[in-house]
């Protein structure tokens, strides 16, 4: 076991194991958490009470999470002069499943995004974002209840690989000159340059995770979202590799939309449909006919836009969860940032971290605890005692604090 200098390993907890492609979860799993910057501490205080209450209620005290605080971001820098201590990464790797609050990313130079670093170092290649509607939440579209999708966004390649050079830098000048000379590329002088790498390996493993999820959860379809009409060899290849993987690995469980329109070529009635959409058309489709989509697999940048847009359709960032998942290692986190203007006001909506915790509990196989939390949140929203962000979109709502909203969720956990 790693020797931890800053973090304390809970004495009564046990490590989650990963063998033969499956997690082995003890009754008291050690789960590292990062409180997060800005509103992170307010949110974490409310969230952890909700998680513990749900687990206690679902398993009558037979199971409990052994929380282990690990450090990253501003708190870590203030206490240990290190934005991301190596031991935090080690703990997330060693204990396999963790949860984090949002972390500040200084704009323009300074440190690289801690979130991006964590995803890359731990090879958390899929960012999974489920988006669904909770009855009663004010939403900007007419039929938000038709949105129920899970987005699998590639998390290590494309723009997240972060390969770019500043305009006028010696590197950009050298590369620009090379491209102009060797490939006759039309690149203006003093251009900034970026490279968008997308591999067959990276694309296929992401699509495979999305397909496995769709089959396991009996979803209707998997849609490959790409911009292959313009970027043929990156985004277009993502689509082609996706279909290839579907054909090679899941021939019995899947049918392509094209084959289906020709009569299904003998596909099983419960086969998951694989289709693809160009990214710009996907935004329209999500607004106009969201119920035709259930699982989306997409490269990094498309996924970034699509997941925030979809979250807005059902009422915003306050209830938009996420998980960064690799093979046997996962870090769950809210979609939103640190929302610094609300820090320490006990005001912000903890729903996004709480729902990220639901994803975490489901990943552990603790589905009953997850269901209790979802019911608690549904009932809290029905009671109209909600945080400011939801209150301003609902008629007749009473605004309550972060901690009071946590209490409402616990109160609403009726088995």
Point out the residues that are catalytic: 160, 227, 280, 304
Candidates 52-60, 61-69, 98-106, 303-311: pick the segment binding ligand NAP (CB under 6 A).
Answer: 98-106
Backbone φ and ψ of 19, nearest 5°: -135, 145
Cβ 342 to ligand NAP, closest distance in Å? 7
Alpha-carbon distance of 325 to 155, in angstroms, equals 9
Cβ 51 to ligand NAP, closest distance in Å? 16
Contact yes or no for 66/12 (Cβ under 8 A): yes
B/e letters for 141-163, b = 16+ CB within 10 Å, e = fewer, are beebebbbbbbbbbbbbbebbee
Residue of 85, 102, 370, 406 interacting with ligand NAP (CB under 6 A):
102
Contact yes or no for 200/234 (Cβ under 8 A): no
Backbone φ and ψ of 35, nearest 5°: -60, -40
Residues whose CB is less than 8 angstroms from the CB of residue 182 and which lie 6 or more positions away in sequence, other chains included:
none
Candidates 193-201, 268-276, 290-298, 333-341: pick the segment binding ligand NAP (CB under 6 A).
Answer: 333-341
Our CB check for ligand NAP shows the closer of 94 and 333 to be 333
Which parts of 106-125 interact with ligand NAP (CB under 6 A)? 115
3-state SS class at 50: helix
Residues whose CB is less than 8 angstroms from the CB of residue 105 and which lie 6 or more positions away in sequence, other chains included:
111, 113, 114, 115
Our CB check for ligand NAP shows the closer of 328 and 340 to be 340
Cβ 113 to ligand NAP, closest distance in Å? 7
Q: Does 130 bind ligand NAP (CB under 6 A)?
A: no
Cβ 333 to ligand NAP, closest distance in Å? 5
Q: Does 336 bind ligand NAP (CB under 6 A)?
A: yes
Q: 132: closest CA among 364, 351, 326, 368?
A: 351
Our CB check for ligand NAP shows the closer of 267 and 348 to be 348
Binding track over 383-402 against ligand NAP, x by CB under 6 A? ------x-------------
Which parts of 348-377 interact with ligand NAP (CB under 6 A)? 348-349, 352
Residue of 104, 156, 298, 324 interacting with ligand NAP (CB under 6 A):
104
Q: Does 88 bind ligand NAP (CB under 6 A)?
A: no
Q: Does 103 bind ligand NAP (CB under 6 A)?
A: yes
Q: Does 105 bind ligand NAP (CB under 6 A)?
A: yes
Cβ 399 to ligand NAP, closest distance in Å? 12
Contact yes or no for 242/203 (Cβ under 8 A): yes
Alpha-carbon distance of 307 to 182, in angstroms, equals 38
Alpha-carbon distance of 41 to 118, in angstroms, equals 20
CB atoms within 10 A of CB 307: 24
Contact yes or no for 43/348 (Cβ under 8 A): yes
Cβ 147 to ligand NAP, closest distance in Å? 18
Residues whose CB is less than 8 angstroms from the CB of residue 96 and which lie 6 or more positions away in sequence, other chains included:
15, 16, 17, 18, 23, 328, 329, 330
Residue of 239, 338, 366, 397 interacting with ligand NAP (CB under 6 A):
338
How many residues make contact with ligand NAP (CB under 6 A)? 17
Our CB check for ligand NAP shows the closer of 256 and 349 to be 349
Binding track over 293-332 against ligand NAP, x by CB under 6 A? ------------------------xx--------------
DSSP-assigned states of every residue in 127-191: EEEEEE--TT---SSS-GGG-EEEEEEE-SSGGGG-EEE-TTSHHHHHHHHHHHHHH-----TT-
Cβ 91 to ligand NAP, closest distance in Å? 18
Site residues, ligand NAP (CB under 6 A): 102-105, 115, 317-318, 333, 336-340, 348-349, 352, 389
């Amino acid at each position: 076991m790693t020797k931890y200098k800053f973090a304390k390993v809970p004495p009564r907890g046990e490590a989650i194991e990963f063998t033969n492609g499956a997690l082995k979860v003890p009754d008291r799993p050690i789960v590292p958490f990062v409180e997060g910057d800005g509103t992170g501490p307010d949110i974490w205080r409310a969230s952890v009470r909700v998680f513990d209450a749900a687990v206690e209620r679902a398993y009558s005290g037979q199971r409990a999470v052994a929380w282990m605080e690990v450090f990253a971001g501003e708190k870590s820098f203030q206490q240990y002069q290190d934005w991301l201590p190596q031991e935090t990464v080690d703990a997330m790797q060693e204990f396999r499943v963790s949860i984090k609050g949002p972390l500040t990313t200084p704009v323009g130079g300074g440190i690289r995004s801690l979130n991006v670093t964590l995803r890359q170092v731990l090879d958390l290649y899929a960012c999974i974002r489920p988006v669904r509607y909770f009855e009663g939440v004010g939403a900007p579209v007419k039929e938000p209840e038709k949105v129920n999708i899970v987005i699998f966004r590639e998390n290590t390649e494309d723009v997240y690989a972060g390969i770019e050079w500043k305009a006028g830098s010696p590197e950009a000048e050298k590369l620009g000159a090379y491209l102009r000379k060797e490939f006759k590329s039309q690149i203006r002088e003093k251009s900034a340059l970026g490279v968008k790498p997308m591999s067959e390996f990276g694309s296929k493993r992401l699509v495979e995770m999305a397909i496995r999820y769709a089959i396991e959860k009996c979803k209707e379809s998997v849609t490959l979202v790409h911009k292959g009409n313009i970027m043929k060899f990156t985004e277009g290849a993502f689509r082609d590799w996706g279909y290839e993987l579907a054909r090679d690995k899941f021939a019995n469980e899947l049918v392509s939309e094209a084959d289906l329109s020709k009569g299904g070529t003998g596909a099983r009635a419960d086969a998951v449909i694989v289709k693809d959409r160009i990214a710009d058309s996907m935004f329209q489709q999500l607004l106009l006919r969201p119920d035709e989509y259930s699982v989306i697999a997409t490269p990094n940048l498309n996924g970034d836009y699509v997941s925030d847009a979809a979250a807005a359709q059902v009422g915003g960032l306050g209830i938009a969860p996420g998980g960064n998942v690799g093979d046997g290692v996962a870090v769950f986190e809210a979609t939103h940032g640190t929302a610094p203007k609300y820090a320490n006001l006990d005001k912000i909506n903890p729903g996004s971290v709480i729902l990220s915790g639901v994803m975490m509990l489901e990943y552990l196989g603790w589905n009953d605890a997850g269901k209790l939390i979802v019911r608690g949140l549904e009932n809290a929203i029905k009671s109209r005692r909600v945080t400011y962000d939801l209150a301003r979109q609902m008629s007749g709502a009473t605004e309550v604090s972060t901690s009071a909203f946590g209490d409402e969720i616990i109160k609403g956990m009726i088995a």
